[in-house]
Amino acid sequence: MRVLSIDPAIRNTGYAVVEGDHKNVKVITYEVIRIPARIPQSAALAAVRMHLANLIKTHEPDEVAVESIIYVQSHKTAISMGAARAAALIAGADAGLPVYEYAPSKVKKAVVGNGKADKGQVAFMIRALLGLSETPPHDAADALAILSHDASVDVPILDAALASPIGYIGGMGSRGTQTRRRTSLLEAGHTEAALERIHGPIGLDLGSRTPAETSVAIVAEFLANRSGRAPGRLTDAAGPING
């Protein structure tokens, strides 16, 4: 399946095209459509729609995934975001493609483990999850995050990881996402024993509340896994403090 994912905005629309099945996944392209501020809003919307239409014609996706509108306090911002989203929806509808919408908080929860994660955290985790050689621009990373929430992308990545000798496999997302992912991997032929290699929800239970604290909890689990030690307080240990 090939999917065009869109994070709509009038001036900076992120997009990504990913192709995958239950065995393989490939990021075909990702970028940000940048429209200068000097261009009137109506012309900017037309440019976004035209660019997306050209992407659909070039890459021939099977479906379109769009980030749904988020709650904002400014009516002006809400109208602007709604207009950009409409341009994306129309581009997909004009091509006769099914269009699916994903709430930003749910996408962040699935990818980072925190529905309030910032764009930097999303970009970092997308680079790691999809094996990219560079960290994508924030808006393009949001589009890739929408895609990574799709089992057609998520499952192949974990499928490949389970077939490798990699020491740590982390599965981002809520407990509901973990359950659906586990079911898909079992259907793909993996055993219960093999799935025990996947850490998910990822991170140690440190009582994290903010995105920064969640990142610390994730890194802490990486370190504990690498050292082969059970997490504990240095106060209760007698060995070296570091190493």
**Residue 205 a catalytic site member:** no
Write out pLDDT tens, residues 2-17. Answer: 889 888 888 989 888 8
**56 has pLDDT over 90:** yes
Write out pLDDT tens, residues 25-36. Answer: 678 888 889 999
**190 has pLDDT over 80:** yes
Region 87-96 average pLDDT: 93
Region 210-219 average pLDDT: 74
Between residues 117 and 52, the one the model is more confident about = 52
The catalytically annotated residue of 101, 139, 154, 192 is 139
The catalytically annotated residue of 31, 67, 142, 150 is 67
Which DSSP letter does residue 14 get? Answer: E
Q: What angle do CA 72, 9, 121 make, to 5 degrees?
A: 75
**38 has pLDDT over 80:** yes
Q: What are phi and psi of 157, to 5 degrees?
A: -65, -45
CA 26, CA 2: separation in Å to the nearest integer? 9
Region 208-222 average pLDDT: 75
**110 has pLDDT over 80:** no
What residue has token string 């993996």? Answer: 190
**Residue 221 a catalytic site member:** no
Is the CB of residue 15 less than 8 Å from the CB of residue 52? yes
The catalytically annotated residue of 7, 142, 150, 221 is 7
Pick the CATH number of 2-227 from 3.30.1600.10, 3.40.50.1970, 3.30.420.10, 3.40.50.720: 3.30.420.10
**109 has pLDDT over 80:** no
**115 has pLDDT over 60:** no
Between residues 123 and 102, the one the model is more confident about = 102
CA 140, CA 121: separation in Å to the nearest integer? 13
Q: Where are the domains of the chain?
A: 2-227
**pTM here?**
0.53
Region 163-187 average pLDDT: 78
Between residues 133 and 101, the one the model is more confident about = 101
**Residue 21 a catalytic site member:** no
In this prediction, residue 39 carries a pLDDT of 93
Task: Name the 3-class secondary structure at 53.
Answer: helix
Q: Which helix (H) or strand (E) holds 137?
A: none
Which of these ranges, 67-76, 96-105, 120-129, 178-187, has the smallest mean pLDDT? 120-129
